[in-house]
């Protein structure tokens, strides 16, 4: 490998409640209501700090999906959830997803800055625009605004929030009169220990990437292949530069779905067992919403028809993630699997987010490869089941990365922003 980068990677954990696989709750290691137990959450935070991890991440949306067989749709409010974890931890960064569509920017700015104060400067907000009619109907709307409108609103929303955060430090009133918001006021919350809370962005649509290039300091990306990841890494860092920012001001962390074992076979067996313990309809259902096509109508033993893989008929009304769909279609076009083969393969390779099934040593190789290739600044790791998956990351993966000089041995910085700054500079663009 040429052009080896110096410095360390960023490691976050995407805490999909109990893990990304629907059947994670079935393990006897968990009580039936672990997802609302404060000890479960505090222990996740303590485990992450044992591994000197950079951040814990929580997805969010103001709606309930069907929790019949899966704890993933259950959503404690992230600033509260991470506020409680902050009291049990001292260094790990905490990323809360928040909707720019279904919040008032003043209330969110005050709440996030307050929570950041309580964490000692470890807070980040991941700004999402929120999809789906069920969310809209919780706020008196028949449907969500179209994609362009949501992103225009998100852009102004972030500007207002940042101006309000600045007002906490300066004491100067904000006078904002825009297309969506009118604010005359200021925050009376103590200023942030890290300057301002860190802003994440997670969307892979053109509008999402444009917003990221302008304002985001962390990007939770969806990348299936290294080549695609390198291209997007360069694109988003380039967008930041176009806005007069340093490429180092924005860190790229794709998600990585994980099943780990002491051998590759053991990891695959674990992956299969947890997959099989959940209803098969979940993978069909997930694929359907991700590609915008009812996958249950597809012939399982035939390749995907061209009409499924073509351009979206209307990206404004598509309810899935454009970034996920792009990475899935690219993957299907590359190998032309049958629907059955695709669903089987993606157990090991991921779908939307990349997947990894193997040993901690192999995962360290993978992280090192993508890092030196200039595809990532770090990964947002998504274990299949956290209760026993997080310990493997902390106690087995992290020590390997440390030996290779890719990760710190102890926390050397305090705030999340400092963690970001202490990580490796941007790869050659």
Partner 1 sequence: MTRPYLALGLAGPHLIELTASRSLLARWDALPLAFSVLGIDRVDGSAPAATTLASSAVGATLAGATRHGRFFVTATPQRDHPYNIARRVASLAHLSRGRSGLLIGVRDAYAPAGPEEAPAWGGAGLGGGTALDAQTAFDAARAVRALEQSWPYDTIVGNRETGVLVEAHRIVHVDLANRFSIAGPLNAPEPATGASVIAWYAATPADLAPTAEHDPIELVLGAAGTVPVLPLGQEPPPGPWAGLVLRAGLEQSVDALLDTAERWLAEGLVAPVAAGGSLRAALRLPAPAPLAATARAAFPVPQPHVPPSHPSGRHP
Q: Is 55 helix (H, G, I), strand (E, B) or coil?
A: strand
Block residue for tokens 């904000």: 174
* Nearest distance, CB of residue 190 and partner 1, angstroms: 6
* Nearest distance, CB of residue 312 and partner 1, angstroms: 25
Provide the 10 A C-beta neighbour count for residue 428.
Answer: 9
Q: Closest CB to partner 1 among 184 and 306?
A: 184
* Nearest distance, CB of residue 55 and partner 1, angstroms: 18
Q: Closest CB to partner 1 among 175 and 404?
A: 175
* Nearest distance, CB of residue 272 and partner 1, angstroms: 7
Provide the 10 A C-beta neighbour count for residue 318.
Answer: 17
Integer Cα distance of 253 and 378 in angstroms: 5
Which residues, in sequence order, are bridge partners of residue 14? 57
- The DSSP annotation for 156-222 comes to HHHHHHHHHHHHHHH-PPEEEE-SS-EEEE---SPPBTTBS-EEEE---SHHHHHHHHHH-SEEEE-
Q: Say how many Å lie between the first and final Cα of the chain, rounded.
A: 16
Integer Cα distance of 323 and 203 in angstroms: 6
* Nearest distance, CB of residue 280 and partner 1, angstroms: 4
Integer Cα distance of 99 and 115 in angstroms: 17
Q: Closest CB to partner 1 among 59 and 236?
A: 59
Q: Closest CB to partner 1 among 148 and 361?
A: 148
For residue 221 the two structure tokens come to 């990306």
Q: Closest CB to partner 1 among 111 and 385?
A: 111
* Nearest distance, CB of residue 87 and partner 1, angstroms: 3
Q: Closest CB to partner 1 among 9 and 59?
A: 59
């Amino acid at each position: 490998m040429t052009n080896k980068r110096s410095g360390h990677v960023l490691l976050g954990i995407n805490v999909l409640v109990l893990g990304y696989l629907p059947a994670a709750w079935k393990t006897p290691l968990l009580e039936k209501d672990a997802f609302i137990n404060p000890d479960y959450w505090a222990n996740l935070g303590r485990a992450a700090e044992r591994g000197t991890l950079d951040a814990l991440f929580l997805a969010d949306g103001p709606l309930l999906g069907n929790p019949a067989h899966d704890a993933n749709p259950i959503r404690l409010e992230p600033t509260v959830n991470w506020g409680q974890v902050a009291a049990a931890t001292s260094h790990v960064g905490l990323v809360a997803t928040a909707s720019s569509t279904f919040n008032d920017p003043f209330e969110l700015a005050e709440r996030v800055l307050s929570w950041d104060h309580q964490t000692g400067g470890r807070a980040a907000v991941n700004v999402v625009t929120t999809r789906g009619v069920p969310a809209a109907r919780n706020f008196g709307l028949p449907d969500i605004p179209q994609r362009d409108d949501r992103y225009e609103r998100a852009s102004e929303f972030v500007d207002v929030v940042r101006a309000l955060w600045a007002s906490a430090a300066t004491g100067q009133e904000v006078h904002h009169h825009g297309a969506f918001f009118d604010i005359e006021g200021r925050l009376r919350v103590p200023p942030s220990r890290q300057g301002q809370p860190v802003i994440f962005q997670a969307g892979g649509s053109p509008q999402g990437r444009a917003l990221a290039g302008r304002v985001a300091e962390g990007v939770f990306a969806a990348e299936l292949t290294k080549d695609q990841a390198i291209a997007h890494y360069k694109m988003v860092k380039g967008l930041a530069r176009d806005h007069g920012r340093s490429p180092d001001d924005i860190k790229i962390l794709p998600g990585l779905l994980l099943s780990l074992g002491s051998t590759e076979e053991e990891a695959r067996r674990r992956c299969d067992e947890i997959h099989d313990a959940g209803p098969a309809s979940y993978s069909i259902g997930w694929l359907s919403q991700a590609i915008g096509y009812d996958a249950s109508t597809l012939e399982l033993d035939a390749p995907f028809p061209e009409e499924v893989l073509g351009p979206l008929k209307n990206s404004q009304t598509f309810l899935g993630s454009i970034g996920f769909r792009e990475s899935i279609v690219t993957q299907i076009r590359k190998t032309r699997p049958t629907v059955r083969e695709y669903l089987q393969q993606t157990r090991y390779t991921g779908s939307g987010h990349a997947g990894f099934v193997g040993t901690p040593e192999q995962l360290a190789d993978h992280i090192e490869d993508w890092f030196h290739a200039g595809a990532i600044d770090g990964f947002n790791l998504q274990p299949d089941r956290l209760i026993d998956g997080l310990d493997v990351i902390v106690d087995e993966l992290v020590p390997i990365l440390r030996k290779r000089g890719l990760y710190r041995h102890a926390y050397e910085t305090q705030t999340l922003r400092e963690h970001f700054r202490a990580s490796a500079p941007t790869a050659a663009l």
